Chain A
Amino acid sequence: MGASLLITQAMHGVVYGMLLFLVSAGLTLVFGMMGVLNIAHTAFYMLGAYLAFSVAVWTGSFWLALLVVPICVGLVGAVVERFFLRKVHVHGHGYELMLTYGIFFALGEVVKMIWGTFPLAVRVPDILAGSIPFFGNAYPVYRLFILFISLLVLAGLALLLMRTRIGIIIRGAVFDAEMVDILGQNVPLVFLGVFSIGSALAGLAGVAAAPFLTTYPGMGLDIMIDCFVVIVIGGLGSLGGALLASLMIGELQSFGVVFIPDLALVLEFLLMVFILAVRPQGLFGEKG
């Protein structure tokens, strides 16, 4: 295996890692704030991919899907938070967790009802369809486009969290929601907003993944396991941890598939178990 192939493979890992980050970022942010691991999150991701397919078929424009679908999925997220999750909140985290699991299950069935069980292919716009030369190899433009989008989101999230007033409130709520509430902020509204943004990010990741990983009913479950491993390794509630862990898993999968195809998943679990044994709270997680 030559150096240029190694570089290509490493790039594949970065691209998948960044896609994973798009999904796990919202998950880890919501968890940090509300203490709820939203299992339905990867169902939002799948919903995003399917909606992208339909929008692209109806309007013929992938760009429109990229714009509209995250907003729709964000709205679905808002409904789930406002009318389901908030009602169960008083019963404790266990019930919230089970509720999101129920929603994951029901959404998966809705998707099967509307779009059927066969994999669907979403066509990429012509500009993104080809390949460009890259260290002596041809590299698909679309993967670079995913990288571009996720870097954009990363920069946007960093700006929002670190440089704006809303960001201060969100970070404060992650640290101690009750205190922020007492200080006069409308914490339920912040929860709703963060949950919607997180869902929208999952939807965006779904749109981005639709042409790249194809759209099928198991896609939510498939990325869910990677997401959970990312969150365990990175530490629940930590964006930096999620980024680092996503890239680790991306690379592990990318090279694992080449060198030891059957054991790639096993390696992923061994890494997770190792981190758990050495540092149970994850790389960047707080003890708890």
Chain B
Amino acid sequence: MKNNKLIYLAIGFVVLVLLAVFPFILPKLQLNIVIEIAFFSLFVLSYTLLLGYGGLLSFGHAAFFGIGGYLTAIIIRSFPGVHLLLVILISAAAAALAAFWVGFFCVRRSGTYFALLTLAFNQFFFAVALKWSSVTGGDDGLGIKLGDMYLPFVGNIHMHSTTNMYYLVMAVVVLCMVGCWFLLKTPFGNTVAAVKDNEDRAWFIGYNVLRTKLTLFTISGLIAGIAGSLFVLFEEFVSLGCINLVMSTQVLFMAFIGGTGSFFGPILGSAVYIYFTEWISGITENWEFFLGVLFILLIMYAHRGLIGIIGFVVDRFRTSE
């Protein structure tokens, strides 16, 4: 057991070192892709918390990603000098608040009703973003200009640079992921597992199932908001694409490709999704169709995702030895 812990620590250390030197060894194009994988991993992780750990299937997770993104753009446009970390915090808080109220109505129903309600709320937020064009820019979206960010002991950092943006995104993503990892180890994490396993039993034991689900939904919304905020900081642009159903579908696909039963599924899922779409959109114009087919095949034949397939192969390998 102690040995295992040491191995994990060593792996974690190696990964951190690798992440730290990436900007020096990767070409700029690849670095951009790694940044993309990073914030989408975080978004997918927030989704996996809901679906994989909480058993709550949402079709509207882009709502919170989008709220985080839109708020980031609006704050930076209205108050140009404000500190970026503060912007991320406020955007996350707003997404969490929205998630709380949406969750307040949605978690009362489970299964199909929940899925359908989240989808309806997503369309509602989308409609607001589309119609309220004086604030959100409507169809055109909003562009932002990034200034410098001040950090103690370091000084002012120029943010309109891929390398600096890489470190900002990585720092926030790794921090959030570690936070989620420990959150799942707390009594709250165990309660979530108990609720997913059997709701009635959890009620009878004395857990407040609704409160647990609402808390999980709010936390998930918060993390999605952070991911959305990072997305907009990186793109320096926010548009309806952040908040529409396509984004909600994308996060579902990414989560499913990686596998929703594992903590590292989101990273694998978003990496494979991004490289796969990059590759196949170069081959055919109708790549979204093949994406849909891949998703259907996964659900029918490998519903634990790539992590599940890898686990299966590793097991086979071990038993055959």
Contacts and interface: CB of A to CB of B under 8 A. Distances in A.
Contact of B108 (A35, A37, A276): A276
A152 B176 CA distance: 57
Interface string B291-303: 1110110011001
Q: Among the interface residues B111, B116, B121, B256, which one has the most CB atoms of the partner chain A within 10 A?
A: B116
Interface string B227-249: 00000000000000000010001
Interface string A216-246: 0000010001001101100010000000000
Contacts of A139: none
B57 interface: yes
Nearest to B249: A105
Contact of B123 (A91, A94, A109, A225): A225
B115 A37 contact: yes
Given A88-B300, A99-B296, A106-B289, A93 B256 contact: no
B172 to A, nearest CB: 30
A232 B300 contact: no
A105 B112 contact: no
Interface string B123-143: 110011001000000000000
A139 B252 CA distance: 45
Nearest to A265: B127
Contacts of B115: 37, 97
Interface residues of A, number: 39
A1 interface: no
A82 to B, nearest CB: 13
Interface residues of B, number: 35
B303 A91 contact: yes
Given A106-B293, A232-B120, A37 B112 contact: yes
A262 B108 CA distance: 29
Nearest to B245: A221
A113 B292 CA distance: 13
A93 B111 CA distance: 8
Interface in A256-288: 262, 265-266, 269, 272-273, 276-277, 280
B112 A97 contact: yes
B117 interface: yes
B203 interface: no
Interface string A83-121: 010011001011101110111011001101100000000
A31 interface: yes
A272 B118 CA distance: 12
A31 B115 CA distance: 14
Interface in B28-59: 55, 57, 59
A109 B109 CA distance: 31
B105 A231 contact: no
A39 B296 CA distance: 13
A109 B288 contact: yes
Nearest to B123: A225
Contact of B105 (A94, A225, A265, A273): A273
Given A103-B292, A103-B296, 18 more contacts: A31-B112, A37-B112, A37-B116, A88-B299, A91-B303, A95-B299, A95-B303, A97-B115, A98-B57, A99-B300, A102-B292, A102-B296, A105-B291, A229-B120, A236-B113, A269-B121, A272-B120, A280-B109
11 contacts: A91-B303, A93-B111, A93-B112, A106-B292, A106-B296, A109-B286, A228-B120, A236-B112, A266-B128, A269-B124, A280-B108
Interface of A: 31, 35-37, 84, 87-88, 91, 93-95, 97-99, 101-103, 105-106, 109-110, 112-113, 221, 225, 228-229, 231-232, 236, 262, 265-266, 269, 272-273, 276-277, 280
